[in-house]
């Protein structure tokens, strides 16, 4: 289960975790929901968020998250406000404050705004939210502590205070200075320690409980009724968002990869090549979304197997090292493999059509003449020895030896456990792949012997005198 919740002064992660097992992050700001969405969680909860001095969380990043199948919940503070604004689009609001905003009983965002300290002091609140003051005064009226007239007057005074200055002592002091009944004010002063209402906290707890219940019931991916539009402003914004990373103490920080990209840009040709591959990946994943391709457990497993085989990461420790070296969490790696599975699915669907574009791509890259010359030289040499259609007997090899020669000696990696490698390279069948390997082996061997001046390399059908075959194998610690 992967869940992220943005909180701060409303409720601490320690208290919140008693209601819901989740990754708790600081108050949300612009780009934070996008960065979390990239990690593909089941759900996101928004309680607290920055504003004023820091750009606040965008509506569009929430819409994007939901369009990606992620449930987004909001309550208590900026979460309640955004949930009311996006209620029609599927964001799920929870609690009294959300209902007030949704129904138009509250409109101003300063109703939930407070001053608070930094993360080092747990975002400790430095003022009281107006919505809490309203709920507290209403309860005091119901309890007979104050009159309706005094409640109305106190609400007006509280609203006129700048949000960082709102507190019960400040409220009572202003009321006393305005000549309001001291008897009622004193009763309220005595009642407050036990009677005050923290509506924001109550709503936050209710949201966490609801999220836990929904997750326990197996939360299906979110389905929305709108089509998310990738505008130029949106594309520009998310390109500069960076990634969410966690240190060894589970502290979140944002890594903007611009410095890494600058290093790549300075390599010139390498940047262009990687940009091209990134573009292919972008369109493949987008096409997978459009086609509704889902990643099954088997597809995910196959993607990881192919990935590890290509990089010779057979051992768990090797994979763990790769994950660490690339600055990924295990959730990030899972997302990467799921994306790999989707890209692989699209490649399979488009393989027959896309292969027709390969010759032009090779011409543009400058590789076509080299590959053409080698292909022609290989065919001529093999045909001159009567090996236009060779078999394993011609090379005095078993199929296993041929595969080991190619993967272990030529590529320096282990032999794949299945046929996914050849399939991903576009070979029509495993047999077609093995025929290509056999021709390559014989071509290298014949070319080597020809250069070495061998006069008699035997009849083409049997190839007596293939003593040089061993030079193509690193025979240490092996048995054939």
DSSP for 396-443, written as a single string: T--HHHHHHIIIIIIS-SPPPSSSHHHHHTT-SSHHHHHHHHHHHHHH
- pLDDT value at position 463? 39
Would you state the structure tokens that stand for residue 88, as one six-digit string? 């029609």
Query: How do residues 436-479 score in pLDDT, each as one tens digit?
Result: 999 999 999 998 887 754 333 333 333 333 444 434 443 333 32
Count CA atoms within 13 Å of residue 266 on its CB side. 6
Domain 3-120+201-246 has CATH 3.30.70: no
Count CA atoms within 13 Å of residue 329 on its CB side. 19
331: CB partners within 8 A, 6+ apart: 2, 39, 40
Query: How do residues 195-222 score in pLDDT, each as one tens digit?
Result: 999 999 999 999 999 999 999 988 888 9
445: CB partners within 8 A, 6+ apart: 395, 466, 468, 469, 472
Say how many C-beta atoms besides its own lie within 10 A of residue 467's C-beta: 9
Spatial contact of 244 and 254, defined as CB atoms under 8 Å apart:
yes
Sign of the CA dihedral with 97 first, then 98, 99, and 100 last: positive
Beta strands in 37-104 (DSSP E): 43-46, 71-75, 92-94
DSSP state of 49: B
- pLDDT value at position 209? 96
Tell whether the model's pLDDT for residue 79 goes beyond 60.
yes
In angstroms, rounded to a whole number, what is the distance separating the alpha carbons of residues 430 and 191? 81
C-alpha dist (Å) from residue 258 to 232, 234, 243, 255, 280: 19, 18, 11, 9, 20
User: Quick one: the chain helix, strand, coil %, rounded to 5?
Assistant: 60, 5, 35
Helix (H/G/I), strand (E/B), else coil: 140: helix
- Measured in residues, the chain has a length of 480
In angstroms, rounded to a whole number, what is the distance separating the alpha carbons of residues 296 and 292? 12
Share of the chain above pLDDT 90, in %: 47
Q: b/e map of 394-408 (b: 16 or more CB within 10 Å)? A: bbebeeebbbbbbbb
Query: End-to-end CA distance of the chain, in Å?
Result: 48
- pLDDT value at position 233? 65
Spatial contact of 83 and 103, defined as CB atoms under 8 Å apart:
no
- pLDDT value at position 238? 62
Radius of gyration for the chain, computed over Cα atoms and rounded to the nearest angstrom: 33
Would you state the structure tokens that stand for residue 218, as one six-digit string? 């197996």
Q: b/e map of 30-43 (b: 16 or more CB within 10 Å)? A: bbbbbbbbbbbbbb
Over residues 239-246, the mean pLDDT reads 57
Least confident of 120-134, 317-331, 444-458: 444-458
Query: How do residues 85-95 score in pLDDT, each as one tens digit?
Result: 999 999 999 99
Prediction pTM value: 0.58
Task: Give the residue among 134, 118, 136, 135 at the shortest CA–CA distance from 126.
Answer: 118
CA–centroid distance for 461 within its chain = 56
Mean pLDDT for the chain overall: 84
Query: How do residues 15-71 score in pLDDT, each as one tens digit?
Result: 999 999 999 999 998 888 988 888 888 999 999 998 877 788 889 899 989 998 999
In angstroms, rounded to a whole number, what is the distance separating the alpha carbons of residues 408 and 402? 10
In angstroms, rounded to a whole number, what is the distance separating the alpha carbons of residues 135 and 156? 14
Helix or strand run (H / E) with residue 23: strand 23-25
Over residues 116-138, the mean pLDDT reads 91
């Amino acid at each position: 289960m992967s869940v992220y919740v943005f909180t701060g002064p409303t409720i601490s992660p320690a208290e919140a975790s008693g209601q819901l097992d989740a990754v708790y992050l600081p108050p949300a700001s612009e780009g934070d929901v996008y960065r979390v969405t990239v990690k593909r969680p089941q759900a996101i909860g928004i309680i607290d968020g920055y504003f004023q001095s820091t750009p606040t969380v965008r509506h569009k990043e929430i819409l994007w998250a939901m369009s990606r199948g992620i449930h987004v919940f909001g309550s208590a503070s900026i979460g309640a406000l955004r949930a009311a604004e996006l209620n029609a689009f599927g964001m799920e609001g929870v609690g009294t404050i959300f209902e007030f905003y949704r129904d138009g009983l509250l409109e101003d965002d300063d109703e939930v705004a407070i001053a608070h300290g930094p993360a080092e002091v747990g975002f400790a609140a430095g003022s009281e939210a107006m919505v809490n003051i309203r709920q507290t005064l209403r309860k005091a009226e119901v309890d007979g502590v104050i009159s309706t007239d005094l409640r109305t007057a106190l609400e007006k005074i509280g609203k006129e205070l700048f949000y960082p200055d709102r507190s019960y002592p400040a409220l009572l002091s202003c009321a006393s200075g305005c000549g309001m009944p001291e008897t009622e004010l004193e009763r309220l002063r005595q009642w407050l320690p036990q009677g005050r209402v923290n509506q924001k906290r109550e709503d936050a707890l209710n949201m966490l409980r609801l999220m836990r219940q929904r997750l326990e019931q197996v939360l299906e991916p979110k389905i929305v009724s709108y089509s998310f539009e990738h505008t130029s402003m949106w594309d520009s914004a998310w390109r500069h968002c960076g990634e969410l990373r966690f240190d060894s103490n589970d502290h979140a920080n944002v890594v903007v990869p611009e410095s890494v990209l600058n290093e790549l840009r300075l390599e010139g040709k390498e940047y262009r090549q990687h940009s091209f591959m990134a573009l292919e990946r972008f369109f493949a994943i987008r096409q997978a979304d459009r086609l509704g391709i889902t990643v099954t457990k088997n597809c995910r497993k196959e993607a990881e197997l192919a990935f590890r085989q290509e990089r010779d990461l057979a051992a768990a420790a090797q994979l763990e090292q790769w994950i660490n070296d690339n600055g990924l969490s295990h959730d990030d790696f899972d997302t990467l493999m799921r994306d790999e599975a989707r890209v692989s699915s699209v490649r399979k669907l488009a393989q027959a059509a896309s292969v027709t574009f390969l010759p032009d791509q090779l011409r543009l890259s400058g590789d076509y003449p080299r590959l053409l010359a080698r292909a022609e030289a290989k065919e001529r040499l093999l045909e001159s020895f009567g090996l236009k259609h060779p078999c394993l007997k011609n090379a005095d090899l078993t199929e296993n030896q041929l595969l080991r020669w190619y993967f272990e000696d030529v590529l320096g990696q282990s032999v794949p456990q299945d046929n996914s490698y050849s399939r991903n390279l576009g070979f029509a069948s495993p047999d077609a792949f093995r025929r290509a390997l056999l021709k390559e082996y014989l071509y290298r061997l014949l070319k080597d012997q020809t250069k070495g001046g061998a006069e008699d390399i035997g009849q083409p059908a049997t190839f007596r005198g293939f003593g040089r075959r061993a030079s193509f194998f690193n025979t240490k610690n092996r048995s054939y």
